[in-house]
């Protein structure tokens, strides 16, 4: 066996192993749609939190039980719509690449993504119920970023940098508590749309 043949075989083996542990069929359109839903959700949350206040005066966030329920419903709606559209576009992308949507790589991706995400979600729900609403937006960004970084080794490399940016935004938002919804819209909305378009452009080329 020649050296060139040996190196070529090693390359093929590495590629096979990489495909078996990495889910590379994430669609860029999934990110674009998730970002769009997040922006709509941020606007609805803003209206809910600052309902019936003068837009030209200082705003005080006061939540009653009805407002908390509305915020939870908005969050659930954004998550469900993002997941549904993400599943649709990712299924199409997987079909184009002749890859199974529920393979070993997808399972590793999901398990590593959900552990930090669920932990952060429970914590943020507790904070919301206790009335510490100022920390909810920063903490959701931080834990979401941690989830992306944790799962990035099983999917596209761009996901790690997106996660790092989400964490940075979340940390900055902890200093500017009153602007949590703005940072939330930037992180979950604008960044998702930008990264989704970059990934889609790369997949199309």
Boundaries of domain holding 87: 28-204
Residue 19 DSSP SS3: helix
CB 162 within 8 A of CB 148: yes
Average pLDDT rounded to a whole number, residues 177-187: 88
**Could you tell me which residues come within 8 angstroms of residue 163 by beta carbon, excluding any fewer than 6 positions away?**
144, 145, 146, 147, 148, 149, 150, 152
Cα 45 from Cα 32, distance rounded (Å): 20
pLDDT band at 81 (very low <50, low <70, confident <90, very high): very high
Overall domain count for the chain: 1
As a 3-state breakdown, the chain gives helix, strand, coil percent values, each rounded to 5, of 80, 0, 20
Residue 20 is assigned to a structural domain of this protein: no
Cβ-based burial of 41 (10 A; exposed 0-12, middle 13-18, buried ≥19) = buried
Give the model's pLDDT for residue 66. 80
Rounded (10°) angle between helices 28-49 and 191-204:
170
Residue 18 falls inside a structural domain: no
Q: Would you say residue 76 lies in a domain?
A: yes
**How sure is the predictor about 147, in pLDDT bands with cuts at 50, 70 and 90?**
very high
Region 142-151: mean pLDDT is 94
Would you say residue 22 lies in a domain?
A: no
Tell me if 139 is assigned to some domain. yes
Q: Does the pLDDT value for residue 62 go beyond 50? A: yes
pLDDT of residue 48: 81
Question: Is residue 50 in a domain?
Answer: yes
Q: How far does the chain reach from its first CA to its final CA, in angstroms?
A: 36
151 inside domain:
yes
Residue with the larger pLDDT of the pair 167 and 202:
167
Rounded mean pLDDT of 138-143? 95
Please count the other Cβ atoms lying within 10 Å of the Cβ belonging to residue 186: 21
d(CA 128, CA 40): 20
Q: Which helix (H) or strand (E) holds 56?
A: none
pTM for the predicted model, two decimal places: 0.80
Mean pLDDT computed over every residue of the chain? 81
In this prediction, residue 193 has a pLDDT band, given cuts at 50, 70 and 90, of very high
Give the separation between CA 23 and CA 2, rounded to whole angstroms.
33
């Amino acid at each position: 066996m020649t050296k060139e043949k040996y190196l070529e075989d090693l390359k093929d083996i590495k590629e096979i192993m990489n495909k078996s542990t990495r889910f590379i069929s994430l669609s860029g359109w999934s990110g674009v749609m998730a970002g769009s839903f997040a922006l709509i959700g941020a606007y609805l949350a803003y209206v809910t939190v600052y309902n019936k206040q003068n837009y030209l005066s200082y705003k005080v966030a006061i939540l009653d039980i009805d407002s908390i329920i509305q915020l939870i419903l908005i969050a659930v709606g954004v998550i469900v719509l993002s997941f549904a559209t993400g599943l649709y576009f990712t299924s199409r992308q997987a079909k184009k690449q002749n890859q199974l949507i529920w393979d070993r790589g997808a399972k590793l991706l999901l398990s590593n993504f959900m552990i930090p995400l669920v932990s952060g979600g429970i914590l943020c729900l507790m904070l919301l119920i206790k009335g510490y609403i100022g920390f909810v937006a920063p903490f959701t960004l931080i834990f979401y970023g941690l989830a992306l970084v944790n799962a990035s080794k099983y999917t596209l490399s761009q996901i790690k940098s997106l996660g790092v940016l989400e964490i940075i935004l979340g940390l900055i938002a902890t200093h500017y508590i009153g602007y949590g919804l703005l940072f939330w819209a930037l992180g979950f909305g604008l960044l998702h749309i930008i990264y989704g378009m970059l990934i889609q452009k790369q997949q199309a080329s």
